[in-house]
Amino acid sequence: MEPNKKHKERPEEMSPERRDKLLITQVLEALARSIDAKDKYTNGHSERVAIYSRMIARKLGFSAEEQEDIYYMGLLHDIGKIGVPHDLISKTSGLTDEEYSVMKSHPIVGYDILSEISSMPELAMAARWHHEYFNGKGYPDGIAGDDIPFFVRIIAVADSYDAMASNRSYRQYLPQDVIRAEIEKNSGTQFDPVVAKAMIDIIDADTTYSLHE
């Protein structure tokens, strides 16, 4: 996995602006870990999604500042799972229709939590729309194509990639070629083709298959 840039500078050597930025990053990473800790099979998911999202953004030529913003959005994309009962998140068998409906509420819960952050409204958008499909068949709003902000389309691919490349209660992480085929198959339907192509390029460059849990 691409190593997250850990912070080797000593606080007293940093500018005030750098210290503030470091504090924000570390607080958001800690919050992401607390969200994922609800279940051992989602542990680390948000940080991996953030890292993969940043990798895709870099591949697509986003600026360093934009890559950092997308990293933050990835960290908090699943914050709405705070409102999902633990027994649903950790359930090893299939969900009932009612349980699935509760699980599908987490994007709206996340949006409600983050919508008061006026300085970065993209955080709330990423939380609300990361399960939308490029063809409009996702949830919760059924928006499609360019109506889904591009940075959300990046997070959607990163989120799906990590879901397949992580261990679950019912299976081990999937082989790399299976994941690649799934992303390619769903390009243009679930995924933005441009973002899917960037993820496939990243997969192809990962010859040792290091990008998994």
Report whether 37 contacts 43 (CB < 8 A): yes
| CATH superfamily membership of 13-205 | Hypothetical protein af1432 (1.10.3210.10)
213 vs 59: which has the higher pLDDT: 59
Annotated catalytic residue within 5, 6, 40, 81? 81
pLDDT, tens digit, 9 for 90 and up, residues 101-112: 999 999 999 999
Query: Does the pLDDT of residue 14 top 80, yes or no?
Result: no
Q: Alpha helices, DSSP H only, in the chain?
A: 16-36, 45-59, 64-76, 86-89, 97-103, 106-114, 122-129, 150-164, 176-185, 193-205
pLDDT score, position 7: 53
Let me know if 81 is a catalytic residue.
yes
CA 128/CA 160 separation, integer angstroms: 15
pLDDT, tens digit, 9 for 90 and up, residues 50-64: 999 999 999 999 999
pLDDT score, position 190: 98
List phi, psi (to 5°) of 44. 85, -5
Q: pLDDT averaged over the chain?
A: 91
How many CB atoms lie under 10 A from the CB of residue 65? Answer: 8
Confidence of residue 187 (pLDDT cuts 50, 70, 90): very high
pTM, two decimal places: 0.90
In the block, residue with structure tokens 């243009």: 188
CA 207/CA 176 separation, integer angstroms: 10
